[in-house]
Structure 1
Amino acid sequence: MAQKLKGENLQGYENRKIRWGFSLGLNTSWYQLEHSRNYVEQLGEDASTGIAVNPMQGIGFNVNFIATYRLSPDFVVRLQPGVGYHSREVEYKGNVRGEGDETVVQAINSFAAEVPLLVKYEANRRKNTQMYFIAGVKPSLVVGGQKKNDPEVLQVATSDFSVEFGVGLDMFYPFFKFAPELRFSRGITNLHQPANSVYNNSIQNLTSNTITLYLNFE
């Protein structure tokens, strides 16, 4: 921020009952997977024909609206609906398509409508800064980007439910409050959709993980 923090800006702003704003985010996402019995049996029969399946990280972004309501001097509840673009990859190595040793990467790119509901604990304000911790839940629904009903593509569910927690720093400027925030999201829904193909038979359980750097403006 170009403006310097001189004096005490936005006096009493942290005590307002209702606040509004928006946020921009940059995320990195990946799947956490559990191999299927078919995968284990295949390796046990002949390791040379087996396939290694590994998750890989991708980069995405978020755009959100912020509505905040103060519950007490230390706690606020935040509703942060928005849209997130997530890019996740799964790497298959081995005899994937019956043509010997090769590497195939399945990229799952999607746009999702997300509605995080979070509780924020704010430490005491120190002049123009205020540390905080935040945690809550985030339901999400894919609205575009994924290829459905194609067995040659890893099939993933369109809805997810995650728990989130993070830390941030409120910085009070003369005309607005800016807060960089780092948040981790852990999906608890099994996203794997069964399909009869090498890309789906090796996986039994698939959950999402996301780390997001939010830039919040209120």
Structure 2
Amino acid sequence: MKKLLVFALFSLCINTAQAQIFSGERVLNQQNFDQQRWSWGYFLGLNSYDFNFDYKNYNPSPLTGQDFAVETRTGFNVGLVGNLRLNNNFDLRLEPGVNFNTRGFQALRADANTYREISSTYVHIPLLVKFNANRLNNFRPFVVGGVSTSINLSSNENNPDDNSAGQFRMTTNSYYYEIGFGLDLYLYYFKLSPSIRGVFAINDELVRDADPNSLYTGNVEKMSSRAIFINFTFQ
């Protein structure tokens, strides 16, 4: 599903660019849009979250080659956009939003049922720098990067129960760096910007179990989220 979404977005960008370049179109939509000092909008999108693990002692399962299995699923993003024009090619953007996602998690080095379903609701706040290429007819490619923080409203960080009672716990606050690319499409009534972005956590997000030899947390040096966002921004 994730690969299909990435392919669909990439195909949309390529097909639109080809249409603009070879059609000879010269009627420009939203001609003065990029001259505004401030602009506002909103975005809707999809996400896919995963975990990355660093181990104290790497001793994976001989059958699978790993200690844990993570089942990724497609989630949903929604939020607002505030854009500050710095010059013709650079913008500063704030994109506060809410992300909903569910991941499946399982420890593999055990005979017992170790599956956990981890549902997360993130208040996600990125501060991004957007580099815009020069506009060609009614499209404009861009790359974007920056840093972000999020509040996991479903973290269970302060829950006294741990995995021995079936509770998988994560930190409430996380910090990330982000990088991606996209395309501004200047339509008759608004600007549409499909984009794809990689999001990578910097800090350790795992709350350890009370048992230092816990199957879930004992051998983990660091656990951090990573994600792919596919957003459609309307301005």
Conserved 8 A contact 1:31-1:88: no
Conserved 8 A contact 2:100-2:122: yes
1:216 aligns with 2:227: no
- The CA distance in 2 between the partners of 1:169 and 1:185, in whole Å, is 18
Matches for 1:8-19 after TM superposition, within 5 Å:
8-19=28-39
169, 172, 193: which one aligns with 1:179: 193
Identity %: 26
- The CA distance in 2 between the partners of 1:84 and 1:155, in whole Å, is 18
- The CA distance in 2 between the partners of 1:19 and 1:190, in whole Å, is 35
Match of 1:14, SS state, is helix
Change beyond 3 A, Cα 1:162–1:145? closer
Name the residue aligned to 2:161.
Answer: 150
- The CA distance in 2 between the partners of 1:60 and 1:202, in whole Å, is 29
Matches for 1:32-181 after TM superposition, within 5 Å:
32-37=52-57, 40=59, 52-95=67-110, 101-144=111-154, 146=156, 148-152=159-163, 153-181=167-195
- The CA distance in 1 between the partners of 2:89 and 2:232, in whole Å, is 21
Cα deviations by residue, 1:135-173 (Å, 9 ceiling, x for unpaired): 001100112364733212332111110000100000011
Structure with the higher fraction of residues in strand conformation: 1
Count the aligned residue pairs. Answer: 204
| Residue ranges of structure 2 left out of the alignment (5+ in a row) | 1-11, 13-18
197, 213, 220: which one aligns with 1:203: 220
More moved, 8-17 vs 102-111 = 102-111
Q: CA deviation at 1:54?
A: 2.9
- Normalised TM-score (structure 2): 0.79
- The CA distance in 2 between the partners of 1:16 and 1:188, in whole Å, is 34
- Normalised TM-score (structure 1): 0.84
Conserved 8 A contact 1:167-1:181: yes
Conserved 8 A contact 1:32-1:55: no
| Residue ranges of structure 1 left out of the alignment (5+ in a row) | 96-100
Cα deviations by residue, 1:165-191 (Å, 9 ceiling, x for unpaired): 100000011110001000000100111
Change beyond 3 A, Cα 1:146–1:61? farther
- The CA distance in 2 between the partners of 1:139 and 1:130, in whole Å, is 28
Q: CA deviation at 1:63?
A: 0.6
Matches for 1:26-37 after TM superposition, within 5 Å:
26-37=46-57
- The CA distance in 1 between the partners of 2:162 and 2:172, in whole Å, is 16
